[in-house]
Amino acid sequence: MITLATSSPQDTQALAAAISDHLVVGDLLVLAGDLGAGKTCFAQGLGGGLGVDERMTSPTFTLVNRYQSGRLELNHLDVYRLDDTAETLDLDLPELLEVGVTVIEWGEEIDQVLPVDHLTVRLRYPDVGAADDARIIDLEAGGPEWTDRLGAIVPSVERWTQ
């Protein structure tokens, strides 16, 4: 696991963009963290890094937003409102995972249907006393593939290490 710190929404987006350079088609990122922690903000930074030129909005109601204007297709999901796994299956995840990079807010809620190989990005608030715009961001490898790849990301995210 790598633990990082950001100081503003723009800083979180810059971190996400740095990570986006390492992504390839088929990659899955699970975004974890409370409401308002910065999951959507992080996803927007990923999109910016991939060269998505559309405005990225939260997929809370649409469930899936797909962007094809960047270096790789980006599928942005938010499964907070899904009631059960049956609804999850309607998302047709296998197809999404095949065509591009997929990022799922609240993805841990459906981890039983997700591939074991994924990167979890966990956003949280620092302890009391920290600035309002400070966030702690943990990168956690899921599966053997990401355990190896996380090492390659380390130099790109050095400026956010504490």
Interface residue with ligand ADP among 76, 118, 122, 135 (CB under 6 A) is 135
Q: Indicate which of ligand ADP, Mg ion, none lies near residue 102 (CB less than 5 to 8 Å, by partner kind).
A: none
Token duo for residue 104: 């799922």
Could you tell me the smallest distance in angstroms from the CB atom of residue 89 to Mg ion? 22
Contact of residue 126 among ligand ADP, Mg ion, none (CB under 5-8 Å per partner type): none
Stretch that binds ligand ADP, among 35-43, 87-95, 112-120, 148-156 (CB under 6 A): 35-43
Is 45 a binder of ligand ADP (CB under 6 A)? Answer: no
State which of positions 90-119 bind ligand ADP (CB under 6 A). 105
Site membership for ligand ADP, residue 20 (CB under 6 A):
no
Nearer CB in complex with ligand ADP: 93/123: 123
Name residues contacting ligand ADP, limited to 55-74 (CB under 6 A). Answer: 58
Place of tokens 């790789």: 72
Structure letter (DSSP) for residue 24: -
Q: How many CB atoms lie under 10 A from the CB of residue 154?
A: 11
How many residues in total does the chain contain? 162
Q: How far is CA 96 from CA 19, 52, 73, 103, 125, in A?
A: 20, 17, 9, 10, 31
Among 12, 20, 88, 102, binds ligand ADP (CB under 6 A): 12
The site for Mg ion (CB under 5 A) is made up of 39-40, 58, 105
Question: What's the Cα-to-Cα distance from 157 to each of 3, 10, 65, rounded to whole Å?
Answer: 10, 15, 27
Contact in structure between 99 and 73 (CB atoms under 8 Å) = yes
The structure tokens listed for 76 are 């942005």
Task: Out of 3, 21, 25, 36, name the contact with ligand ADP by CB under 6 A.
Answer: 36
Q: Which amino acid is at 72?
A: L
Residue 156, CB-side half-sphere exposure with 13 Å CA sphere: 17
Q: Which is nearer to ligand ADP, 33 or 47 (CB)?
A: 33
